[in-house]
Amino acid sequence: MKVLIKKNILFFFVSLVLSTDFYASEPIAYLNSLGYEPAQKDLASSNNGMITTQHFLATKVGEKILNQGGNAYDASIAIAFTLAVVLPRAGNIGGGGFMVIYDSKTQKPYSIDFREKAPELSNKDMYLDVDGSFNDRKLSTVGYLSIGVPGTVAGLWEVHQKFGSLPWNELIEDAIYYAENGFLITPFLADILLRYSESLSIFPETKEIFQSHYPNFKNKNLVQKDLANTLKIIASEGKKGFYEGEVAEKISKEIIENNGLISKSDLKKYNPIWREPLISNYRDTKVITMGPPSSGGLHVIQMLNILENYDLNKIGHNSSEYINLLAEVMKYAYADRSKYLGDPDFYEVPIRKIISKEYANEINKNIEIGKLRPAKQIHPGEFMRKESHETTHFSVADKQGNVVSMTYTLNSTFGSKVVIEGTGILMNNEMDDFSAAPGVPNQFNLLGAEANEIAPFKRPLSSMTPTIVLKNDELFFTTGSPGGARIISAVLQSILNIIDFNMNLEDTTLAKRIHHQWYPDILEYEFTLDKNIEDNLKKIGYKTSSKLPLTSLQTIMFADGIYYGYGDFRRVDALASGKIYD
């Protein structure tokens, strides 16, 4: 495999603009037109480990922990807490997520589910009107009734108890510093705060924190004193500092007083769960990914099993035939997602059936390059629910060979828009990821069925897809992305780019991505397609749509004893770095 140790990204961007290659010229031109300069200037390389996150400050914190003798788990905990401060739209202690691990000491993969849970008083009809119709007053997306019981702090605590090496409180020091003293608001964050100024002004506490500099956020500091105090409590008391005591009291009191459902009992009872990761072979690699209630890993494996029947390199990367094939494969996966996926503690998800090679072969009999099958002819599902594209992913590898791939979220950008008074905690709106009503899409166009209906203590379905790929029993690469429903298709394409098309890490990341999620029956692509390619796809019968990039792969590759990292330019503050010393 060709691995480029150095390549000036700005030079590469210019060459892309002059080329007709199906890569990233339009995204870069678009970002430049907004005055953005990606934090990632060069491909990062290191002998001693690698970190890639969506914010350069979090990346630097992870490096610091590794240089202090911490392992990948320590660094991941520190990064996650730091992102809760510097990436408030998605990083969190008021949300939840998943982590996939490869541990070098045991030589085993692990995965932990710290997804949010529905409160005990929740029920499947909680967002319906008396006539059974879906209440469209945004109760499931904004405000106190949209909040699920957070899992992030419990998940990080559990990982530390099992794998951590440095003291817990030391891992939160940098997050406390940035919350207490503030950090410079980047142009990218400034524009987001301005764009969401209306929704961030609904609740006084949220407005005071995130809109204090309105309307000019650039070159200002974002200070979060209450969040700093909350983090100090968590640093001192561990998991109990969030789920019991004064923080839990403030959370439950405010939510109940505002017609929400989360009680002190809900918080105290919350626990993450270690789940068996999904493992499958693709070509000459081993894919390790997250199982339900994440749908992403299962459907990535399902699609890889189908695509294994094709010589993709011969078909040609992002040719009309290739896009046609991927779109048809995606339709079948997302159709299955709509009906069969949910929390496996509440619903018997047919995991083995969906990821079996036999099932893939059955689906493949219905796929013919040069033709399409309309979404309405693909069963079993009838519905898809929307899902937020505002998640964050990071990847960490240390010199011992430990690897962490973690994705966590508040769901929508800035979650429920609720900051609990006196805590600085921005809360999730994950209740919207359940199936609230048959046939009614939520905010992000993915509908679900009985498998994902609301029930007390149940975890909502997610597309988050933290993934690790091994080759010859050692790390090949680890990847993941934000992007809601598009996470699954983005991770799939990153795997194909590396394994089937032998791309180096920069080209893998820069390559344009397509997406089809069955319903709506639309083929999406980033920015523009070559006119001939788009014309060919329209002749087949596709409805096409151009989209701004919504995904951001944070990928680490390992080759010949060297770690390579590249922070996806689509979220311009992203940075991969490996300044880790012996």
List, by residue number, the catalytic residues.
391
Per the listing, tokens 């503690």 go with 345
Q: Which strand (E) or helix (H) includes residue 337?
A: helix 320-340
Q: Pairing mode, if any, of strands 523-526 and 544-547?
A: parallel
**How far apart, in whole angstroms, are the C-alpha atoms of residue 117 and residue 120?**
9
**How far apart, in whole angstroms, are the C-alpha atoms of residue 349 and residue 452?**
11
Q: What is the DSSP letter of 5?
A: S
**How far apart, in whole angstroms, are the C-alpha atoms of residue 537 and residue 190?**
38
User: Torsion-angle region of residue 194: left (phi > 0), alpha (psi -120 to 50) or beta?
Assistant: alpha
- The β-bridge partners of 563 are 46, 558
Q: Where are the beta strands (DSSP E) in 164-203?
A: 183-184
Q: Pairing mode, if any, of strands 285-289 and 278-282?
A: antiparallel
**How far apart, in whole angstroms, are the C-alpha atoms of residue 15 and residue 69?**
41
Q: Which strand (E) or helix (H) includes residue 306?
A: helix 296-307
Indicate the angle between helix axes 320-340 and 531-540, nearest 10 degrees. Answer: 50
Token reading at 282:
């693709």
Indicate the residue type of 534: E
Distances (CA, A) of 313 to 321, 326, 503, 516: 11, 13, 11, 21
Asked whether the CA dihedral 59, 224, 241, 176 is positive or negative, the reply is positive
Length of the chain: 582
Indicate the residue type of 118: A
Distances (CA, A) of 228 to 154, 155, 207: 18, 20, 18
Distances (CA, A) of 539 to 21, 520, 522, 533: 22, 19, 14, 10
Q: Are 424 and 229 in contact (CB under 8 A)?
A: yes
Distances (CA, A) of 42 to 9, 327, 328, 504: 6, 32, 36, 13
Question: Largest alpha-carbon pair distance within the chain?
Answer: 66
